[in-house]
């Protein structure tokens, strides 16, 4: 059994005040027979998590303005039994501050607030979680683009 999950990341530039947001990294998880919970005939663990720093965000050119980071995904080859989640795992570096985003937020095709902050921040790490895994889902390559935006 082979199940491929690819998450692509886009970087998106900011809005009217021209703040910049860049995203680097992503998550690629190959599920094989060794992921079965109790060997042949058993099921997969129902969820998987990426490394805590799977993606690193940098927010720049903000001036003194506050900002919010939003997240959504754009399924390319996806199974609707999957649910994708993301959370912030570090504050990063910089003169400003960050609030929110420590708990997982479900990533759907609609923008959801992830976290907010002030001033420039670099090296803000995020982690992904995928739920809904099962041996009953057809083996295939599944792919979605994760889109972060700054507002």
Q: What is the pTM of this model?
A: 0.84
Alpha carbon of 58 to those of 71, 80, 112: distances in Å? Answer: 14, 31, 18
Q: How many domains does the chain have?
A: 1
Which of 120, 116, 126, 131 lies closest to 147 in space, CA to CA?
126
Its domain, for residue 129, covers 3-150
Alpha carbon of 112 to those of 31, 45, 63: distances in Å? Answer: 28, 27, 24
Q: Which residue in this structure is represented by tokens 């690819």?
A: 6
Per-residue pLDDT of the chain (151 residues; tens, 9 = 90+): 444 545 555 444 444 457 899 999 999 888 777 777 777 767 777 788 999 999 999 999 998 789 999 999 999 999 999 999 999 999 999 988 999 999 999 999 999 999 999 999 999 999 999 998 888 888 888 899 999 999 9
């Amino acid at each position: 059994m082979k199940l491929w999950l690819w998450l692509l990341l886009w970087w998106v530039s900011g809005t009217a005040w021209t703040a910049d947001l860049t995203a680097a990294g992503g998550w690629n998880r190959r599920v094989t027979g060794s992921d079965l919970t109790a060997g042949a005939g058993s099921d997969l663990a129902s969820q998987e998590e990426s490394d805590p720093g799977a993606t690193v965000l940098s927010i720049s050119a903000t001036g003194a303005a506050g900002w919010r980071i939003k997240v959504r995904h754009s399924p390319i080859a996806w199974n609707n039994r999957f649910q994708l989640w993301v959370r912030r795992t570090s504050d990063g570096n910089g003169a400003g501050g960050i609030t929110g985003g420590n708990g997982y937020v479900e990533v759907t095709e609609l923008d959801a607030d992830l976290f907010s902050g002030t001033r420039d921040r670099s090296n803000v790490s995020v982690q992904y979680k995928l739920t809904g895994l099962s041996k009953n889902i057809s083996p295939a390559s599944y792919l979605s683009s994760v889109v972060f935006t700054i507002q």
